[in-house]
Amino acid sequence: MNGGYLLRDGAYGSLNKAISRMRCFRSPETAWSAHMQVEMADLVGRKTTAEGMAMSQMSEAGYGTNQFMRWDFDGRVGWGEDQDVWDALHFVRMLDALKTLK
């Protein structure tokens, strides 16, 4: 994970990038994120897991997408966004690789 924060009990904490992990399941047709599983910890040491499903998606150029996400965590539902930003050439290589899996 390249960035983000954990908001818990009214306090923000920057993510500890060294131990936070995200598994992203992508569409083989578009390479856009469809489903995510996240294990995160902030720099204070607080931890949580979350699972997200993309409810809507948009992209102006085909790469670099924004997903409106439904997040399930701690027995609750939350709503937020995933900003998935790519270098255009790298995105095309990933999309080509995904298409070979069909």
**pLDDT confidence band for 41 (50 / 70 / 90):** very high
Which residues span the domain enclosing 33?
A: 5-99
The model's pTM is 0.79
- How large is the average pLDDT for residues 11-24? 94
Contact 5, 14 (CB under 8 A): yes
Residues near 101 by beta carbon (within 8 Å), at least 6 away in sequence: 28
47-51: long-range pairs with CB below 8 Å, 24+: 48/6, 48/8, 48/73, 48/74, 49/73, 50/78
CA quadruple 26, 30, 31, 34: dihedral, nearest 10:
-30
Question: How many domains does the structure of the chain reveal?
Answer: 1
Q: What is the mean pLDDT of the chain?
A: 90
